[in-house]
Amino acid sequence: MRLILLGPPGAGKGTQAQHLVANYGIIQLSTGDMLRAAVKAGTPVGRQAADIMARGALVPDEIVVEIVAQRIEQPDARKGFILDGFPRTVPQAQALDRLLAERGLALDAVIELKVDEDALVRRIESRVAAMTARGEPLRDDDSPEVLHRRLAAYRAQTAPLIAYYRRHGTLRTVDGMAPIEEVAAAIAKVVADERKANPAPRVGTPKSKRTAKPPAKPKIGAKTARKARAGAARRAGAARKSARRVRKSAALGPRTRNRRR
């Protein structure tokens, strides 16, 4: 099972990914974790990423895609995975499609957690107020201002993925504003429906072709069939007569044939 969870910051993607990991035995692949692991391991692509990150620049798509490619080939990813934080843009999604196709793989579903952004802002405002009242330290991203910036970045870069995957027929939408357990149940239903619709898809078969039926053989009428059989019989008879003439001519020999002329 290969899934992507889409939704703005605060939609609960991380929480739902943990449910999927626990229920289906698949792994969650975070772009940030994969980058840090590659840097720590000192792989060639990890060293490239480390140099770029040290300069404070964004790691380019080709390096991120290569890190994802190396990660999904590891044994623990064979049963399936959830991609977290990737793809973030349509070009990254296109690169992911090529990457999976080269390995004979395909996405099972892209699940959008649809939420009300205003409600998300109110939620974080309430959380900040409660933490401040209790005297708890706040994280750098625990502020409505930071959330507004992250939501703006999501709308500009990542939201277009919804239309992209809808065109590809892989997008499924659930209500991300429902209680956590209800959201988890809705996602589980999506997974069950996909498995029921495609119980044993061939590896790498595009989703749009998994249930396609082979083209039916053209039907012919009884009259046409009788004519075809009669024509075949006539041709076979003519061939037998021709073969008998050849054999008789060969048996007579050249002199006999000449005298008859």
What single DSSP character describes residue 76? G
pLDDT computed for residue 87 by the predictor: 93
Q: Range of 245's domain?
A: 219-261
Task: Say yes or no: 201 and 259 in one domain.
Answer: no
pLDDT computed for residue 96 by the predictor: 94
Place of tokens 């249930």: 211
What amino acid positions are annotated as catalytic residues? 13, 88, 127, 139, 150
Last residue of a domain, one of 168, 190, 209: 209
In DSSP notation, 22-36 reads HHH--EEEEHHHHHH
Helix 117-134 and helix 144-153: axis angle, to 10°?
Answer: 150
CA atoms within 13 A on the CB side of 111: 31
Helix H or strand E encompassing 114: strand 109-114
- Please indicate, yes or no, if residue 71 is contained in any of the structural domains: no
Task: Say yes or no: 19 and 129 in one domain.
Answer: yes
Q: Tell whether pTM > 0.75.
A: no
- Please indicate, yes or no, if residue 55 is contained in any of the structural domains: no
The number of distinct structural domains making up the chain is 2
Place of tokens 């008998």: 244
Spatial distance between the Cα atoms of 196 and 190, rounded to a whole number of angstroms: 10
Per-residue pLDDT of the chain (261 residues; tens, 9 = 90+): 899 999 998 888 989 999 999 999 999 998 888 888 888 888 888 888 888 888 877 788 888 888 899 899 999 998 899 998 889 899 999 999 999 999 999 999 999 999 998 988 888 888 888 888 988 887 766 777 888 888 898 899 899 999 999 999 999 999 999 999 999 999 999 999 988 887 654 334 444 444 444 545 544 555 565 666 666 667 666 656 665 664 555 555 544 444 444
pLDDT computed for residue 27 by the predictor: 94
Task: Say yes or no: 84 and 173 in one domain.
Answer: yes
